[in-house]
A = this chain, B = another copy of it.
Amino acid sequence: MQKELNLSKNQKIIFDLIDKSGGPMKAYSILFNVQKKGIKAPLQVYRALDKLVEIGKIHKIESRNAFIACQNSSCQVSKATAFSICESCENVSEISNSKLSKYLSNFSDDSGMKYSKYNLEFFGLCKKCKSK
């Protein structure tokens, strides 16, 4: 919330669009929607997206090549993300479950590798879609 002030012009335009959409948006759909505001090229969009991801204002849904506003106000830096994705309506929401994040942040296996980041995507049918 507090970081919004630091956003540059393009970053703000693009963040506001994604945030207001309430769901995941794809880069070229973003591009289409901001052309009236003077953002004309893919690279302008991708640069803003990169920065917004870096500072944790948005996250990339890797399996969908889409970007969603962070729904977890405490998520300043994107290094531990989890999402639930409906395979029917493509609704996505960010999971904020402290037990889960604690479990995954502390996870280590026998490889001796220390993990600094993770991304988890759960798939299934949302309530609405299940009841159809």
Q: Within 8 Å CB of A41, what residues of B?
A: none
Question: Distance in Å from the Cβ of A113 to the closest Cβ of chain B?
Answer: 5
CA A97 to CA B122, docked complex, whole Å: 18
Question: Does any Cβ of B come within 8 Å of A116's Cβ?
Answer: yes
Question: Distance in Å from the Cβ of A22 to the closest Cβ of chain B?
Answer: 15
Chain A count of residues within 8 A CB distance of the other chain = 31
Question: Does any Cβ of B come within 8 Å of A114's Cβ?
Answer: yes
5 smallest CB-CB distances across A and B, nearest first, come from: A62-B62, A117-B123, A115-B122, A115-B124, A120-B120
Interface string of A76-100 (1 = CB under 8 A from B): 0000000010110000010101001
Q: Within 8 Å CB of A38, what residues of B?
A: none
